[in-house]
Structure 1
Amino acid sequence: MGMMEEVVKKAEEAGIRDKVKIMVGGAPVTEAFCEQIGADKYTADAASAADAAVALCRASA
């Protein structure tokens, strides 16, 4: 899970954080962890991730 936080940090360092959406999820991840690392969306499984990705794309369009 440490690499998830690193991805968010690297996106910030590269100056692209406002241009990309970062989603995290799966069994070891929680909503609180998502918020803690600054990711945009948490989903519990791959099936809900697809719907969440569509929603994020629509919201940023």
Structure 2
Amino acid sequence: MKTANSVRVKIMGNTFRWSGGIASVLRSKIEYQLKNAMDLGGAFKSDLKAYYVNNF
């Protein structure tokens, strides 16, 4: 179920979920990290970015 106050991420087979007011803070931090994550592979970063664009 898609809600604006919930963050659910699946990375390397592990699912991370945050909900409540902190979700928006985490979303900002995650987006910042994605923009600055030079160690992530391009395809992996693109997939994560697509996930966030489609889920918020």
**TM-score, scaled relative to structure 1:** 0.32
In terms of fraction of residues, the more helix-rich structure is 1
**TM-score, scaled relative to structure 2:** 0.35
